[in-house]
Amino acid sequence: MWIAGCVTPLGPGFRIEEQEINVAYVSGAEPAMRVRAAWQVRNTGNQPLDSVDMELPDAESHDLRDVRVELQGTALDLAPRRGRIARIRFDPPLAVGEAREITASYELRGIHSEPAGTDVTEQGFLLPPGDWAPALLRPNRAFARGGEAPKKWDMTVRVPAGWRVHASGTLKGTEHGKEPASESVRYRFQQQKNGFLPFAVGGAFQEARAMANGSRVILWTRQAPSGGAAQRAAAAVAAAAQFYDATFGPRRGASRTLWIIECPRKQPCWPVPEAAFAGGEIGRDDAWPAIQVEIEQQLAYTWLNFQVHPDWEAEPLPMGALTDYAAELATVAREGGDARRIIVHGLIASYEFDKSREPEPPVTYARLTDPESARQFAGVKSELFFFALEDVAGQEALLRAVRHLLRAFHGGAWRAADLRSALEQESGKNLGPIFRQWLVEPGIPSEFRDRY
- The per-residue pLDDT string of the chain (452 residues; one tens digit each, 9 = 90 and over) reads 444 454 555 678 999 999 999 999 999 889 999 999 999 999 999 999 999 999 999 887 788 899 999 999 999 887 556 678 889 999 899 999 999 999 999 999 876 655 567 889 898 999 989 789 999 998 877 677 888 999 999 999 999 999 999 999 999 999 887 655 568 999 999 999 888 899 999 999 999 888 877 778 899 998 887 767 778 888 888 899 999 999 999 876 556 789 999 887 766 688 899 998 888 777 776 776 678 888 899 999 999 999 999 998 899 999 999 999 999 999 999 999 899 999 999 999 999 886 666 667 899 999 888 887 788 889 999 999 999 999 999 999 999 999 999 999 988 999 999 999 999 999 999 999 999 999 999 999 999 999 99
Whole-prediction pTM value? 0.87
Which residue type, as a one-letter code, is found at position 449? R
Q: What is the pLDDT of residue 2?
A: 47
Cα gap 4→403, rounded to integer Å: 29
Kindly report the CATH class assigned to 14-141+150-203.
mainly beta
Cα gap 291→18, rounded to integer Å: 43
Q: What is the pLDDT of residue 112?
A: 60
Considering the segment(s) 206-302 as one domain, its CATH architecture is: Orthogonal Bundle (1.10)
Cα gap 325→384, rounded to integer Å: 8
Q: Beta strands 200-203 and 49-55: pairing type?
A: unpaired
Q: What is the pLDDT of residue 255?
A: 64
Are 133 and 159 spatial neighbours (Cβ–Cβ below 8 Å)? Answer: no
Among residues 233, 225, 289, which one has the least CA distance to residue 258?
Answer: 233
Which residues have a Cβ under 8 Å from the Cβ of 156 and sit 6 or more positions away? Answer: 20, 21, 22, 23, 186, 187, 188, 189
| 37 φ/ψ angles, rounded to the nearest 5 degrees | -120, 145
Q: What is the pLDDT of residue 14?
A: 95
Burial class (CB in 10 A: 0-12, 13-18, 19+), 444: buried
Domain ranges of the chain: 14-141+150-203, 206-302, 319-451
> What CATH number should be reported for the domain whose range is 319-451?
1.10.390.10
Fold: same for 206-302 and 319-451: yes
Positive/negative CA dihedral, 92, 93, 99, 104: positive
Among residues 401, 394, 392, which one has the least CA distance to residue 423?
Answer: 401
Q: What is the pLDDT of residue 142?
A: 67
